[in-house]
Amino acid sequence: MQVAYLRVPPIEAQFRTARMVAASVARQADFPAEQVEDVKLAVNEACALHRGAVAPLELVFDLEGARLEVLVGPSAAPAVAEPESQMALTILRAIVPEFEAGDNGLRLAWPGPVADA
């Protein structure tokens, strides 16, 4: 198991750092290029839900074998305007195989690389 932790201010300029870490971890799991892009997009949308929050954005990237799980918190309560948050949630549900939003944040998980992503 490999775990990476990232804590950044919940501002757009820092989401790039989160995307870069997400891409690196997905590549370590041998995800194909298109799936790496999906992981980056999902992490960006999860971060966007917390834009403007008071607390720092905390991300945990957990890679166990080929399974990638990303926890984004500290809270799943969207800090952005309702139409934006609904769009972000729709995107997350569409591209993340295992997606949960709860009191402790968001959980995004991919069981492993997809052959023809």
pLDDT in tens, 25-68: 999 999 999 999 999 999 999 999 888 888 899 999 999 999 99
Q: pTM for the whole thing?
A: 0.88
Ordered domains of the chain (ranges, CATH): 2-110 (3.30.565.10)
Q: How far apart are CA 101 and CA 112, in angstroms?
A: 21
Q: How far apart are CA 52 and CA 47, in angstroms?
A: 10
Residues 6+ apart with CB under 8 A from 21: 4, 6, 59, 61
Mean pLDDT value of segment 88-106: 92
Q: What is the pLDDT of residue 74?
A: 78
Indicate the Cα dihedral angle 6, 8, 106, 37, nearest 10°.
-70
Q: What is the pLDDT of residue 76?
A: 43
Terminal alpha carbon distance of the chain: 24
Question: pLDDT at residue 12 above 70?
Answer: yes
The number of residues in the chain equals 117
